[in-house]
A = this chain, B = another copy of it.
Amino acid sequence: MTPTNTAPKPAPIIDMDLDQDGDDGHGSAYGITDREATLQARHQTETLGQRPGSLIIREGALKPRLFLYSYDDTTFIEAEYPRYDDLWAAFRARPELKHWIDVRGYGDLSLMERLMEDFDLHPLQMEDVLGDYQRAKVDVFGDNRLFLVSRMTDFTSELEIDDDQLSVFTGPNYVITFQDDYEDCLDSLRNRLRGNFSTTKRRPSLYLAYALTDVVIDHYFPTMAAIGDYLEGLEDRIFSERRERRMLNRILRIKKDIVRFRRLVYPERDKISEILRLPDEVMPEEIKVYFKDAYDHSMQALDLAESYRENITSLTELFLSDQSNRMNEVMKVLTIISAIFIPLSFVAGVYGMNFQRESPPQGPNPLNMPELYQPWGYPAVLSLMGLMVIGQLYYFWRKGWLSKQR
């Protein structure tokens, strides 16, 4: 129960040495198609034919770990319970406290069913929890209980957005959360609870649901910051003399991430907007003020995503124009060299460079290349060639072909 280190996690730094990024074991070698979407479709296919509300534990699900945080203005009790019965007993023993039941990992069907029963959760909701592909949403159930789904994002060093589902159920004096991983982005909130000055502890348990939503949204920004840094890095490299391979590939890959991020955040914003329209007996005005703040934050995250999306379009245009420019440059080299040497070769071909040759026996015919028999013939032709070269270079210089133009 020692408080863990919760220094704010810095925005991940993506190694710009990108040349290896085709080899990191993705489904496809380049990562432009949305693999997560396909995985989701496949997973939903697997559950095909089940009756609605039937609980299915996905293969590889972690064994659940159970935590209980009980608090009021002055108290804070925190424990991990290996057995659910102990947790249930502890929870029932202190009805005057507010409780956060924190379930991490889904790998125990009977436990899930007991939770469903003890806390009166609907099978369809529990199916959403375990399915792990639910968009952010809010459902009102019972009289005034809420079922909230958020998606927590993380930007991995493989340029992928990793997202996990956080499912939250509220009750009169408790909040239950489900997630499929032991690690999450909620440690900062746990630490605030452990501290002495937490406003969360003084407020009703519904505030905890807000606090969870808020932490998730706040974690969208490091992802965005990492994407922004990566974009700036890409931009710097588009024009570099020796462009890396597959630059467009990288642009499109980060575009895929941004598109996915928007797909995650839009429902989040809609969810909060729906919460703000809930009647006051479900969501009291004093908590709505906080959700209004969360709404502003989700709008800011969307603004950033839209902004980056526009940037991606610009980068793509720039890349394609640069590609065209490089072709242009190749053509210029070809044209300049051909334009200079093909005419020179012709001149050399005409004269055969047989200057000062023996006069034919009958004497040189003045119509037939008499200049070949002159002593100044060779220097004259050389000068002609030189003049041709100078003339063409001047022409190309005036056209600006000799300088680099990007």
> Which residues in B have their C-beta under 8 angstroms from that of A377?
368
Q: Which of B122, B328, B344, B378 is close to A289, meaning CB atoms less than 8 Å apart?
A: B122
Tell me the complex Cα distance, A320–B319, Å.
Answer: 12
Q: How many A residues face the partner with a CB closer than 8 A?
A: 148
Given known A-B contacts A243-B405, A318-B32, A365-B375, A51 and B199 have beta carbons under 8 A apart:
yes
How far does the Cβ of A274 sit from chain B's closest Cβ, in whole Å? 13
Specify which chain B residues have a CB less than 8 angstroms from the CB of A33 in the assembled complex: 228, 231-232, 235, 308, 311, 314-315
* A90 CB-CB contact with B under 8 Å: no
Q: Mark A256-296, 1 if CB is under 8 A from B, else 0.
A: 10011001000000000000000000000000011011001
A109 at the interface (CB under 8 A from B): no
Q: How many copies does the complex hold?
A: 5
Of the candidates B28, B42, B52, B400, the one whose C-beta lies within 8 Å of that of A214 is B52
- Residues of A296-330 at the interface with B, using a CB-CB cut-off of 8 Å, are 296-297, 299-300, 303-304, 306-308, 310-311, 314-321, 323-328, 330
Interface status of A331 (Cβ within 8 A of chain B)? yes
Q: Known: A30-B235, A324-B327, A327-B327. Contact between A229 and B38, CB under 8 A?
A: yes
A137 near B: Cβ within 8 Å? Answer: yes
List the B side residues contacting A358 at CB < 8 Å. Answer: 360-361
Q: List the B side residues contacting A292 at CB < 8 Å.
A: 124, 139
A248, B317: Cβ atoms closer than 8 Å: yes
A391 within 8 A of B: no
Question: What residues of B have a CB within 8 angstroms of the CB of A365 in the complex?
Answer: 355-356, 375
Given known A-B contacts A293-B124, A334-B339, A355-B368, A310 and B259 have beta carbons under 8 A apart? yes
A209 → chain B closest CB, angstroms: 13
Do the beta carbons of A314 and B256 come within 8 Å of each other? yes
A368 and B345 contact, Cβ closer than 8 Å, known pairs A29-B235, A318-B252, A334-B335: no
Task: Give 10 A-B pairs besides A33-B315, A49-B191, A341-B346 with Cβ atoms closer than 8 angstroms.
Answer: A29-B235, A30-B239, A32-B235, A32-B318, A35-B228, A37-B303, A37-B304, A51-B198, A355-B368, A367-B375
